[in-house]
Chain A
Amino acid sequence: MKIAPMLLAFALCSVPVAAHEGGHDARGIVTSVGSEALSIKTNRGEESFLLTPQTEFVKDGAPATAQDVKALDRVVVHAKKNAGRLEAVKVQFKSPARPKKQ
């Protein structure tokens, strides 16, 4: 008699959950940046990310734009995979360090 509820519970618990969205984060130095793509050099090699109107740019913790990103900037890119390509969700960077006065 107890088998039926157990089977029902098992059936309910074994329903597959939604797949997690694949994420990819990278830290690196900007090698090139345009309106549609950002390339950085990481210790894995060169990585490229698509920039979209939804890509968020954050400089020194404040909102920024793609135009603020320059070659040789250190950036952290939070991306997601979309149709086999990496799409930048958020690009964080800092103002370049000023040379110290002698």
Chain B
Amino acid sequence: MAAAVLGILVLGVNVGGLALLLRGGISARVDPTAIEAAVAGKLRRMGIPGSFRQLRSPVPSSNEVRAAGRAHFADHCAICHANDGSGRTEIGRNLYPRAPDLRLPETQQLTDGELFYIIENGVRLTGMPAWGDGSEESKRASWHLVAFIRHLPQLTREEKLQMERLNPKSPEEWREMQDDEKFLKGNERSGQGHEEPRHD
């Protein structure tokens, strides 16, 4: 009996491995199949404890709360999720699974508690890390993010520009930004530019 179970397991692993290899090995380039995405979505929802699912944000949404969430999102989240939450960044669109478009119903229909749980605890086998450290400060910041994520479908261009100023930048990017500013002010005569791999 034990040998039969072991045999079935080995066969299952072999068939699964073969299917994986035929689909492009471990490459993250292929898009997840519809079945894989649906199963992963269900598992994610099932994996969030019921106590969190029922949670409602203890932080009422206000301009100040959304501004705090926006600044935090620009600094920590936008590198994968993009300032507008579309996930259209070099990292976000090449992750497996892809960074979701947070403006769409798949995310917006999650409860406050589910969003909070995902931010605090991350999602296994995806690019989403656990940001929470269990402190009250961390929890408050996560609730600010929940408020901002709710606001993403109504994000304005002005807000997006504010976020661009808050996005993390390398020393080289800072220098380029200052040179751009100098040029626009007319303090630099020559029209220079540069060519490089773009990390947007």
What residues of chain A have their CB less than 8 Å away from a CB belonging to chain B?
A: 12, 15, 18, 20-29, 40-44, 47, 56, 58, 61-63, 74-77, 80, 89, 92-94, 97
- Smallest CB–CB gap between A19 and chain B, Å? 8
Please give the number of chain B residues whose Cβ is less than 8 angstroms from any Cβ of chain A in the complex. 28
Residues of chain B whose beta carbon lies under 8 Å from any beta carbon of chain A: 26-29, 90, 94, 157-158, 161, 176, 179-180, 183-186, 188, 190-200
User: Which of chain B's residues have a CB closer than 8 A to the CB of A74?
Assistant: 183-184, 186
| Residue contact B195 to A24, C-beta cutoff 8 Å | yes
Residue from the set A29, A40, A43, A47 with the largest chain B CB neighbour count within 10 Å: A43
Once A and B bind, how many residue pairs between them come within 8 Å at the CB atom?
78
Instruction: Name the one of A12, A76, A89 contacting B184, with C-beta atoms under 8 angstroms.
Output: A76
A62 touches B186 (CB 8 A): no
Flag if B94 contacts A27 (CB, 8 Å): no
Q: CA of A23 to CA of B158 in the docked complex: distance in angstroms? A: 24
Q: Is the CB of A18 within 8 A of B29?
A: yes
Q: Is the pair B27, A62 in contact by a Cβ cutoff of 8 Å? A: no
Shortest beta-carbon distance from A23 to chain B in Å: 3
